[in-house]
Amino acid sequence: MSSLYLDYFGLSLPPFSITPDPEFFFDGGSLFIEELLYACVQREGIVLLTGEVGSGKTLLTRVLLSRLPDTVDTVYLPNPAFSRDEIIDVIARDLGLTSTGTGLESLQHELIRRHVNGRQVMVLIDEAHTMPGDAIEEIRRLSNLETDHCKLVQIILCGQPELDTLLATPAMRQVRDRVVYRFRLKNMPRIEAARYLNHRLRIAGWHEGPLFSAAAMKRLLNDANGRARRLNLIADKSLLAAYAEGKKQVSAHHVKIAIGDVGTNFSSSSLSKYIWPAATALLLSTTLLIWHFK
């Protein structure tokens, strides 16, 4: 739907897509990403990154992966629903080992070989809170592989706060003891959230005055409460509502429509009565133009 309003507002990219795109990364002037990057190349133990749904974890991990030194070989597991017997084999195959003999011992030999050649291996597991406990225990065993000076593999566990709860259980004590760095993504403060929205608009090609009125921005910030994904969803649908009404600035009214629509299906949403007539008119005019030049 975002593509409907791009030309109308003079934008080159969808400013509020919920697809994680490192080009839109906003650090708010903090050193969070630098601190995370530092922790991930120390090879001292497990790094833990947690945050609520929609806090920007996946985007942060993609930015992290793009900024790692060239000497780091990465294994990224976005959906780690693997058993204890599967997790090591999956990592081994991702590092190029054959399907035969991909157990922990074979993986250790490969890690040593890469270490001798000046390579570092990092395994980043997203949605780690969904992992079975025995699979996490196997990851702990993997993190035990080391030389006299450093770990042979750097483990990063990324997930929702349930991951903290899981690791706090007595059964996970040994895993918990291996965690050397903990990072927690929190909701953005109000001022930072406003800067976040304006940053994304600039990246998307907006260089004029405020696209959201003061009242619209206030209502959006109040509802989203600093949650990145909700900020994006409401801002995107607010622009869509303004476009559908032929307005060049988003008002509080448009934000209200968007808030009511978030989490519903477009086909039965309050935006439908605005969007589909506009889309139909656009399609009709395009069809007539094509017919005219036949």
Of 185, 203, 230, the last residue of a domain is 185
> What pLDDT, on the 0 to 100 scale, is given for residue 292?
35
> What pLDDT, on the 0 to 100 scale, is given for residue 270?
44
Closest CA relative to residue 162, chosen from 133, 201, 120: 133
Whether 19 maps to a domain, the answer reads no
Residue found under tokens 């790692």: 68
pLDDT tens per residue across span 21-57: 999 999 887 889 999 999 999 989 999 999 999 999 9
β-bridge pairing 72-77 and 153-159: unpaired
Rounded to whole angstroms, how far apart are CA atoms 72 and 278?
50
Rounded to whole angstroms, how far apart are CA atoms 232 and 255?
12
Q: 53 and 162: one domain?
A: yes
With 0-12 / 13-18 / 19 or more C-beta atoms within 10 angstroms meaning exposed / middle / buried, residue 118 is exposed
pLDDT tens per residue across span 88-127: 999 999 999 876 556 888 899 999 999 999 999 999 999 9
The phi, psi pair for 139, rounded to 5°, reads -65, -35
Q: 87 and 157: one domain?
A: yes
Alpha-carbon dihedral sign for residues 185, 189, 192, 198 = positive
Q: How many domains does one find in the chain?
A: 2
Q: 242 and 217: one domain?
A: yes
> What pLDDT, on the 0 to 100 scale, is given for residue 102?
61
Enumerate residue ranges in the chain where pLDDT < 50: 264-294
Residues 6+ apart with CB under 8 A from 12: 6, 204, 205
> What pLDDT, on the 0 to 100 scale, is given for residue 81?
86
Whether 41 maps to a domain, the answer reads yes
Rounded to whole angstroms, how far apart are CA atoms 135 and 141?
10
pTM comes to 0.82
Domain residues for 203? Answer: 3-13+190-292
